[in-house]
Amino acid sequence: MLMATAARAAGTRAVACAAQRAGAAAAVRAYHEKVLDHYNKPRNVGSLPKNDPNVGTGLVGAPACGDVMKLQILVDDATGEIKEVKFKTFGCGSAIASSSFATEKIKGMTVWDAAKVKNTDIAKELSLPPVKLHCSMLAEDAIKSAVRDWEAKRAARQAAAGAAAPAAAPATASAAN
């Protein structure tokens, strides 16, 4: 009953996912429910303040279908732990499910572990068929893009801190030589 409602809702909202649903239906039932569950009740939807120094914003697009995904992480500067994750995905059902699943997966991880998450992990968990593998790649790349953005911010901050103490910087540089 609940399943039928979910499938109908997904059908009206994301036509492009017919192949994905058919594939998932033929696979293990638990995975099928997982995709629908994440699609119908996506976790961690929203935004974090992108100018916050501890927030990394990942942005990726799928050139073939025009889907876009924004994934943001709030990182503990001292430990590198991902304390908060938010995403917004404008695209098909499996892109939404992939990013929703990815946010749950990386919450509590360190940024460095999160950057190692592979699209195949996501695809396997959600049992995505081959035609929808690029959706999980989108999620993987969004995580990496968010981590890169956070690292770039941190590097800029450290460079600024170095520039604030100009006497120390040349000394370190010459010591290295």
Partner 1 sequence: MLRARPTATLAAALAALARPRAVAVGAAVGVAPAPSRALAQVPDNHCWKCNHYDPTSTFFCKNASCSVILPTPDPAPNFFDLLQLDLPGAPFTPGGPAASSQAGGDANAGTDADAQASPRHAAILRHGFTVSAPTVKRAFLSLQQRLHPDNFSTKSDQERTISETSSMLVNRAYQTLRDPLSRAMYILDLHGITVPETPSAADRDVLLHVVQALEEIEDADLHADPDAIKDLVASNARRIEGEHRVIADAFARNEPEVARDAIVRLKYWRNIAAAADEKLGVSSDA
Q: Which residues bind partner 1 (CB under 8 A)?
A: 47, 58-68, 70, 88, 90, 134, 137-138, 141-142, 145
With CA atoms as reference, report the closest residue to 65 among 121, 9, 138, 143.
Answer: 138
Are 22 and 33 contacting, i.e. CB atoms less than 8 angstroms apart?
A: no
The yes-or-no answer on residue 17 being catalytic is no
Nearest CB to partner 1, comparing residues 25 and 152: 152
Least distance CB 160 / partner 1 (angstroms): 22
Q: Which of 111, 135, 137, 142 is catalytic?
A: 135
Least distance CB 162 / partner 1 (angstroms): 26
Nearest CB to partner 1, comparing residues 32 and 55: 55
Q: Which of 65, 68, 115, 169 is catalytic?
A: 65
13 conformational bin, left if phi > 0, alpha if psi -120 to 50, beta if neither = alpha
Nearest CB to partner 1, comparing residues 66 and 166: 66
The yes-or-no answer on residue 135 being catalytic is yes
Least distance CB 139 / partner 1 (angstroms): 9
Nearest CB to partner 1, comparing residues 134 and 153: 134
Helix (H) or strand (E) holding 82: strand 82-90
Least distance CB 57 / partner 1 (angstroms): 9
Task: Tell me 16's DSSP state.
Answer: G
Separation in Å, CA 75 to CA 7, 48, 72, 123, 150: 36, 11, 10, 25, 8
Taking the C-alpha atoms of residue 28 and residue 84, their distance in angstroms, rounded to an integer, is 31
Which residues belong to the active site? 65, 135
